[in-house]
Amino acid sequence: MISEKILDIFKGAIKISRADQTELVCESEEFYLTRFAENLVHQNMGRSDSTIWCRAAVGKKTGVARSNDATREGVAELLKIATEVARNGNDDPNFQSLVRSERAPKCQGFYKKTFDYSAAARTENVAAIVERAKSSNLTCAGTYQTSATTLCVVNSLGTEQFDKTSEYRFSLTAVAPDGRSGWSQAAGRDIAQFDFLATAQRALDKAAYPGDAVQLQSGTYTVILEPDAVANFLLLTAFLGFGGKTLQQGRSFMSDKMGQAIMGNAITITEDPFHPAMQFMPFDYEGVPKKKITLVENGIARDGVYDSYYAGLAGKTSTGNALAPDNNYGPYPKAMVMAAGNSSVDDMIKSTPSGIYVTRFWYLNYLNPMKTMVTGYTRDGTFLIEDGKITKPIVDMRVQQSMIEAFSNVELVSGEQRLIPQYGTLMLVPFLKINNFNLSAT
Amino acid sequence: MANIEKIAQAAIKKAQSLGASYADCRFVETRSESLGYSDGAPEAVSSTVDAGLGVRVMADGAWGFFGSSQLSEKEAERAARMAIDIARASNLVNKTPVELAPVQAYKDDYKSIFKIDPFTIPLAQKLDYLANLDRLMAQNSQISTRSASLDFRKTESLFVSTIGSSIHQTIIHSGVGIELGIAKSRRERFMRSFPQNGGQYESKGYELLDEFDFVSAITRLAEEAIALSSAPDCPAVTANVVLESSIVGLVIHEIVGHPLELDRVFGAERSFSGTSFATTDQLDKLHYAAAIVSFISDATHPYGLGSFGYDDEGVKAHKVDLIRDGILTDYLSSRETAVRIRRAPSGAMRADGWGNIPLVRMTNTNLLPGDKTLNELIAAAGDGLYMSTISSWSPSDDRSSFEFGCEIAWEIKGGKLGQVYKNPTFSGRTVEFWNSVAAIGNEGTFRIWGTPNCGKGQPGQNARTGQGACPILVTNLKVGRS
C-alpha cells in the first residue's frame, strides 16, 4: 500500500505542469479474497495495485489520463499525456475550475487488524463455517475479503488530502440438498468486531428451513424485505435520482419535485459518510471534504449530491461526492443511511395475514427508468407468511415494480439496521414492510 | 518484452523452488482510449495505461494467486511467495487435490487482425469525428438528448508456465456507437441507439468506423424516436416475434453462453453470478433448442471481441460445438473443470487484466446462420411483432428464465411491418424459447456483436465477449410492456 511519499511526488509533478490547472489522484489498494464453493476453497487471491489519475485543464478544455505506475517518472509521463489530451480536446463550456479544499478531518475507518488479517485466518473461519454446514447436510459458497485503501488528492489550487481505510466483506450462500438456498452478508471496518459465525448462521437457518417450496400465482403482495433487498432497491434508486448529473439533466425522479412528497413519510434517506457504521474516506476524488446530506426526509425530496462540475451547473457547492476523474456517471452517494423505524421484524411478520418474506433480489435492471420500474428476481430465501407466521419456502418469483412506488407503500420500518455492501458503496438500511408489491410466477 | 519474460520466469522459478507443482505468470499491459460526446460537449475523454503481473500457483493440490503492479524480478518473486502462502492456506479446507487436464506447451506470438492501429490516429481527429456525429444528430430540432462514443484498446500480454509455454499476444479492439432521444415529458423519454445499445465493439482497428452508415442511421433513428413518442404501448400478448440480430446476440450471451460455463454449472458462482439449469447429467441429451439451431464457441473468429490465440491458461484457441442440431453437446471449460466431465478444455479461461484469477468465460458464442432474409422472416411471422435493440435484460440466476426489454417494436400484419409500439418486453423460459425458434436469418444477416462489459466473479471481473447472431423468428413468445 502506498505511503504519504506520494504527496511529494504529486507536488513535484504539479510544479512542472504546463496545464492551467492540474489534479493528481492516487487510490492504492491491498486486496485479499478467499472464495469458496461446494464446501471447498476454489479461489484464493491477493493483489497490490495503485491507480493514478491526472486531470489537466487548459482553458475550457480538460483531459484525463490514468495509469498504475506510481513512480516519479510514471506520474510525470501521466501528466504529459493528460495535458496532451486536454490541448487536443474541444472546449467544454460547462467546465469552470478545479476546487481548493481545506484538509479533511482524519478518517476513523482504518483498523490494522483488518489490514493484517491473513489468508490462513480467513480460511480457518471458512473451515469453521463449512463444518457447521456439513453437520446440517448443507453446502456452502461465499466470499471473505479484507482490504486496505489509501486515497490521495493533490491539485494546483492547493488541495492536499491523504488518508486510509480498511474494510472486510463476507457473504454466504448455504444450499440444501433440494437446491433451496439461504443468504447472509456483512461488512465493516474493524474485523475484531465481526461475528462471522452469527452472520453465517442466518444463511444456514434459511437453507435448512423445513418443507417443500411452493409456487405462488402472479399478483400484488404484502412483502417484508430484509435489508439486503432494501439495499438492492436503494442502490438503483440512487443511481436514477440522487446524483447531480441526473438532477441537472432532468432525468431524476426528484428533478422538479424538491420539497414535495415522493415516497412514504416513513422514509428518510441521508448520505452520511461519518456515521459510526460507515467511517468512510472523509473526502472525495476531487479532495472535497464529505458531509452529511439529507436526500429524502419523511418522504419529501430534499437534495441531491454533487461534485464540482454539476454543482457549478446547478449553482451549488460540491457535497464531496465526486467519483474518479474518468467516470461519466457523475456524482453518486456511496454511504447512504435509511433511517430506522420503531417496528421489529417479528412485529412485521405478526401483523401480516398473508405476505411474502424476501431475503434479497437478483439481477435487477431498469425496464423503464423514468418510472423507476425495474425487473429482477427474488433469491436465496423467499418465504410465505400466513396468519402472522412464516409457514413455508416459496419458489422464487419475478419482480416487476416501480421502486419509488414501493418506497411510497411502506407500512412499517424496523429499528434494526444492517450495513450492506454493494459494489463500491456501503448502505445502512432497515427491514421494510411494503404493501401492493408486484411479483409474478416464472 | 525480453525484460518482462525474465521477470515472469523469475516468478515461476521461485514458485517451483517453494514447492509449486504448477505455476504460470501473466504479464498484461492494457492501453485504452475512451472518448464521449454528449449534447454538444466532450465527456469523459481519457487515456489509460495499466500494467502488472499475476502469478497463479498450485501448491499441495490447491490454487493460490497474487498480482502486483510493480514490475521487477524482486516483486515477481514476492508475488510467487504470496501465492504459495495463499495456496497452502486453502488446504485448511480442501482435502482433495485439484486435477488438471493436460495441455500442450506453446511458444508463439499472436496478433489480432487490424488495418489501422487506432493509437496512430490523433486524438483531435477522433474528437472531430464525434463532434460531427453530434452535429448530425443536432440537425433534427426534435432530438433532445444525444451522445456518441469511441473506445479503443490495445492489450499486450505474455503468458509463461512451468510446462514450458511462452505466449506473447497483441490484441486490438475498437468500439463506436450513438444514442439519441426525444423527451415527451420529464417522465417520458424515447431512446434509439446504433449499431446496438452501448455501441458496437469488434476485434478490429480504426477501420471499424467506416463500416457503419451513421448519416442514414441518424435520420432513421430520429424518425423512429419521433414515432415512439406518439406510439401506443406494446400489447401484452403471446405472439410470433421476429427479433433483430443484436437482440439475439445478447439473448445468446445471457441464456446460452452463461449457462454453459462449466464452473458455474459446478457451483463456483453459487454465491454471486448464479448456477445453471444445464447440468452435466443432461450433456448429449438435453433438447436445448429446435433442431434448426446450433451454437459454437469460436475464439478463432477473426473479428469477435472474444477472439484470441490462446486463453489465459495457455490453451490454443479452437472451435467447440456447444449445441448441435438443438442438442447440448459441450460446455465452456477450463483445465480444472473439463477434466471433471472427461473432455478436453474448450479454451475459455480468461482473466480481467493481470490482477485477477482466470475464470471460465465466453469467447465468441455464435449461432450458425439459417436460410432466410430478414424480410422472409417477417413474412413468415404472418401476424406478430418485430423488435429491435435491447434496452434491458434480466435472467434468473440459473438462467432458466428471463425478461428482456427493447427500444422499439413494430406490428407485423399479413407478413408486413405496421405501426410502432413503445416499451416492448419479452419473457419466457430458456429451453422453451430456443425450442420455439421457427426460422433463422441467413449468412447475409450474420454479425458478430460485441459485449465489452460482461461481469462475473468476485472480485468483479469484466470480460469482452462476442456473439455471432442472425435475426430469428420465435413462435408463441410472451410479450409485454414496461
pLDDT band at A104 (very low <50, low <70, confident <90, very high): very high
Percent of chain B with pLDDT strictly greater than 90? 94
A189: pLDDT strictly greater than 80? yes
Nearest CA among A20, A151, A15, A161 for reference residue A98: A20
**Mean pLDDT across A216-220:** 97
Helix, strand, coil percentages (3-state) for chain A, rounded to 5, are 25, 40, 35
Contact B272 A68 (CB under 8 A): no
CATH label of the domain that carries residue A98: 3.30.2290.10
Please write the tens of the pLDDT for every residue from B393-412. Answer: 999 999 999 999 999 999 99
Domain boundary among A205, A235, A259: A205
A227 and A307 co-located in one domain: yes
Contact A175 B188 (CB under 8 A): no
Q: How many Cβ atoms are within 10 Å of B401's Cβ, its own excluded?
A: 23
Q: How many CA atoms lie within 13 A of A420 on its CB side?
A: 26
Alpha-carbon separation of residue A377 from A116, B128, B224, B394, B398 (angstroms): 38, 44, 32, 8, 11
pLDDT band at A3 (very low <50, low <70, confident <90, very high): confident
ipTM of the complex: 0.94
Interface test with A, best of B26, B32, B46 (most A CBs within 10 A): B46
Q: What is the pLDDT of residue A62?
A: 93
A197 and A246 co-located in one domain: no
Residue A423 · residue A395 · CB < 8 Å: no
Burial class (CB in 10 A: 0-12, 13-18, 19+), A151: buried
Residue B86: closest C-alpha in chain A:
A119
B2: pLDDT strictly greater than 80? no
Contact B47 A64 (CB under 8 A): yes
**Mean pLDDT across B233-261:** 98
A343: pLDDT strictly greater than 90? yes
Contact A37 B267 (CB under 8 A): yes
Q: What is the pLDDT of residue A130?
A: 96
Q: What is the pLDDT of residue B399?
A: 97
- What domain range is A98 assigned to? 5-205
Residue located via cell numbers 504459495? B84
Q: What distance, in Å, lies between the first and last C-alpha atoms of chain A? A: 47
A114 and A38 co-located in one domain: yes
pLDDT band at B201 (very low <50, low <70, confident <90, very high): very high
A410: pLDDT strictly greater than 80? yes
A270 and A366 co-located in one domain: yes
Residue located via cell numbers 447429467? B281
Contact A67 B50 (CB under 8 A): yes
A221 and A89 co-located in one domain: no
Option in B34, B45, B189 nearest A370 (CB): B189
Average pLDDT, chain A: 96
Cα A157 to the chain's mean position, in Å?
A: 30
Q: CA-based angle A46:A52:A53, to the nearest 5? A: 140
Q: What is the pLDDT of residue B293?
A: 98
A100 and A239 co-located in one domain: no
DSSP collapsed to 3 states, A298-316? CCEECCCECCHHHHHHHCC
Q: Is the dihedral of CA B119, B150, B157, A72 positive or negative?
A: positive
- B397 lies within 8 A of chain A by CB: yes
Residue B385 · residue B412 · CB < 8 Å: yes
Q: Rounded to an integer, what distance in angstroms lies between the CA atom of residue B141 and that of residue B128?
A: 21
A442: pLDDT strictly greater than 90? no
Contact B67 A398 (CB under 8 A): no
Domain boundary among A179, A205, A231: A205
Q: How many Cβ atoms are within 10 Å of B340's Cβ, its own excluded?
A: 15
- B60 lies within 8 A of chain A by CB: no
Q: Rounded to an integer, what distance in angstroms lies between the CA atom of residue B168 and that of residue B312?
A: 11
A16 and A120 co-located in one domain: yes
Option in A68, A90, A379 nearest B51 (CB): A68
Q: What are phi and psi of B238, to 5 degrees?
A: -105, 125
* DSSP reduced 3-state for A36: strand
C-alpha cell of B116? 489501422
Q: What is the pLDDT of residue B296?
A: 98
Residue A287 · residue A320 · CB < 8 Å: no
A60 and A115 co-located in one domain: yes
Q: How many Cβ atoms are within 10 Å of A423's Cβ, its own excluded?
A: 7
A385: pLDDT strictly greater than 80? yes
Q: What is the pLDDT of residue B42?
A: 85
Q: What is the pLDDT of residue B192?
A: 98
A199 and A260 co-located in one domain: no
Please write the tens of the pLDDT for every residue from A279-290. Answer: 999 999 999 999
Question: Nearest C-alpha of chain B: how many angstroms from A321?
Answer: 17
Contact A49 B92 (CB under 8 A): no
pLDDT band at B218 (very low <50, low <70, confident <90, very high): very high
Q: Which helix (H) or strand (E) is A13 found in, with range?
A: helix A5-15
Residue B289 · residue B434 · CB < 8 Å: yes
Size of interface A-B (CB pairs under 8 A): 228
C-alpha cell of B224? 423512429
Domains (range + CATH), chain B? 2-229 (3.30.2290.10), 237-481 (no CATH)
Q: Which residues of A touch B267 (CB under 8 A)?
A: 37-38, 139, 141, 175
Q: What is the pLDDT of residue B419?
A: 98
Option in B89, B93, B188 nearest A370 (CB): B188
A172 and A242 co-located in one domain: no
**Mean pLDDT across B453-463:** 96
Contact A373 B429 (CB under 8 A): no
Domain boundary among A205, A236, A253: A205
Question: Nearest C-alpha of chain A: how many angstroms from B131?
Answer: 9
pLDDT band at B187 (very low <50, low <70, confident <90, very high): confident
Question: Nearest C-alpha of chain A: how many angstroms from B65?
Answer: 5
Contact A88 B42 (CB under 8 A): no
Please write the tens of the pLDDT for every residue from B58-92. Answer: 999 999 999 999 999 999 999 999 999 999 999 88
Q: How many Cβ atoms are within 10 Å of A26's Cβ, its own excluded?
A: 22
B21: pLDDT strictly greater than 90? yes
Residue A144: closest C-alpha in chain B:
B458
Q: Which residues of A touch B189 (CB under 8 A)?
A: 251, 370
Q: Which helix (H) or strand (E) is B337 found in, with range?
A: helix B335-338
A201 and A256 co-located in one domain: no
* DSSP reduced 3-state for A380: strand
Nearest CA among A204, A188, A134, A170 for reference residue A359: A204
A191 and A215 co-located in one domain: no
**Mean pLDDT across A294-319:** 97
Option in A93, A327, A370 nearest B44 (CB): A327
Q: Rounded to an integer, what distance in angstroms lies between the CA atom of residue B356 and that of residue B461?
A: 7
- B52 lies within 8 A of chain A by CB: yes
Q: Are strands B472-481 and B424-429 parallel, antiparallel or unpaired?
A: antiparallel
pTM for the model: 0.96
How many domains does the structure of chain A reveal?
Answer: 2
Please write the tens of the pLDDT for every residue from A158-182. Answer: 999 999 999 999 999 999 999 999 9
β-partners of residue B239 are B477
Window 141-200 of A, Cβ < 8 Å to B = 141-143, 145, 171-173, 175, 181, 183
Contact A42 B268 (CB under 8 A): yes
